[in-house]
Structure 1
Amino acid sequence: MKNTIGQNISLTLFGESHGEKIGVVVDGLPAGFEIDLDKLEWEMEKRKAKGQLSTKRHEADAVQIVSGFFEGKTTGTPLCILIDNTNTRSQDYAQLKYRLRPGHADFAAFEKYHGAQDYRGGGHFSGRLTAPIVAAGAICRQILEAHGVNLATHIQSLHGIEDIAFDFADASHLEVQMNTLNAAQFPVLDEESCQKMQTLIERTAKDLDSVGGVLQTVVTGMPAGIGEPFFDSIESNLAHLMFSIPAVKGVSFGAGFEFANLYGSQANDPFVLDENGQIMTSTNHNGGINGGITNGMPIVFQTVIKPTPSIYKPQASVNYQTKEEVELAIKGRHDPAIIHRARAVVDSLCAFGLLDLWMEHAAIQAFEEK
């Protein structure tokens, strides 16, 4: 199993949902960066389960940085983060050991690991493993912010309920929108849409079911020229990271699948000069990326989050051990929707990916002739 990603900075993920601890090792961070622990805690807070909208498994998710951090700053050596699992109920999964849960990795895990895997709560496949990812990404995000790069994500749609759009025509209003989202526990711009979404999630929970939706992320301040034309393009790197999130089933950039309905004259972004004589585009259908490389416009991408696979309705399944068809009734504590919590994971992996690519660009620039 390969659990490391990244070139100039790397992220290695470890642990299981019901193990003693989960964690991550981040290698390659610059030395001497002062980590704002309050900001890190807030990113963790945004991912936590709360109230009627989430699972009743509430974890403290207190981040323990046990190496690579001294006197409030990164040391430049591997930074290791540990998070305790303190609220597990493994007995809820005992009867499910061989009963394959629809929508989960149970069958695939048996085929790959032949029963050696930790099945409790999904083991290493669980969304619980996104907690250390958020902690690591929160540090990468702080480094980006120190260099003028900001990002934010909102629930663009939830089971057909739409949020209002980002205001790309007004940079100052867009900044306000991004700040609003980053300060919100439930990331929606329109209050009416927010209420409708939360009502739907609560109603779905009572119906013993779950819902999914689409997250939209915007990144501002990223300089032009970052990324590579093909295999290390902005799109391929970010898509790789987004698809590493267990619930993600689709990623698109800019106008995304709407490109299929446009003519080239509509899809292209004309180049113009801004009031300071800088080159920009008058539209941003391509989401701030041309040829796999940033063009200085806001990076925009969408991420599809599927409905939580753990639902309480009886489902058809198979017992892997006996090869008998069975009816599956899942017990335990599960989310009727995870999209609002997944926002923090998307933000964190986005920050990690962009920082990794920017460091590559900076390294090449250091050896180019001026």
Structure 2
Amino acid sequence: MLRGNLNAASGADAARAADAAVARRDPSLKLPQPPARSTGAHGATGLNAAGYAPIVWGECTSATQPGCDLVWAFFATKCKSGGSDLANALEDAGIPLAALGLGDPWMGWGHRIRRIHDWLLTVPDETLVIMSDADDVFLLPGCSREEVVARYHDQDADVVWMSEKFIWPQESLMLDYPAVPPPPPGAANVSPFPFLNAGGAMGRARALRQMIWDIYQHDCYDDQLSYTQHFLRHVSPTFKAEAPLRGSRDANTEPGSHPNATDRVDPISGVAVPRRPMVVKLDYYNHLFLSTAGVSLGDIEPDTAAGRIRQRQTGGRACILHQNGNKLRSDLLTDLKKAFKTGRWPVPAPMAT
């Protein structure tokens, strides 16, 4: 959805017309369809007077408005303690939050993708957006909003994804993944996190909209599989040839030649920035994100006074943690939250013999 300013009526009309044209060329194409807006959709009813989706605190009508260059969005059908912990951490950090889906019935992972897409249609193009899971994600107290933004820019990518140790849900895609890049200074060895995890991503609203437009199939489709396929199409020539991406602006597409590609307009100068391929990266070395599945307390070097941690293997000082996987076997995130509240670091359990 990168066709002009979607936050103006004319831009939205142009986007709908372009989508209709694409659908006519391919009748089987399934585009994300915005659901009816409800009180639970964005934490408030409908859109505000400026035409933007309200957020839980603060009203952002421009990416250049102070405090509105970054917004966090999560999808949750119910309000649980983990989501409340994250909301409180974001409020402390001064990061606006959009809570999507509260009160909705659970309709599948693809439904979550569609609801996020619907919300992104109301967000200014240049706004930085973090989209994440809700109940098992946490922002470390020592990370400021300015540091989160800087760590995203350090990656030099349109979309940055969390990485993890395990591949899910389709193990056959393992051979399509690229090699992990060599370790940066401070890392003990090559990252053990080679695979995409859909629990956290960061990018500009326009890039995330385009990504979801590219991958959405139906409400029952697995979101992690969708995002994995999108990533692989951008980095794996073999996978790209076998499964072409609709609407993709990849390295094989001449800049500006694809009908879905449009110039990015600088929000301050109003000057169009030339089109280029979308860059999608994994945060292999925990510069911003850390998936804690398969990670033990012994892998973490704490600094409870500063509200930070360091992953010993990668050297990364991630700000955003996600406890994916089986929480009955390991719930490291809960232990870390308690440690930062009490200032006492838990003693790692002895290894089984």
TM-score, normalising length from structure 2?
A: 0.25
Higher Cα Rg, which structure: 1
- Comparing both structures, which one devotes a greater share of its residues to strand? 1
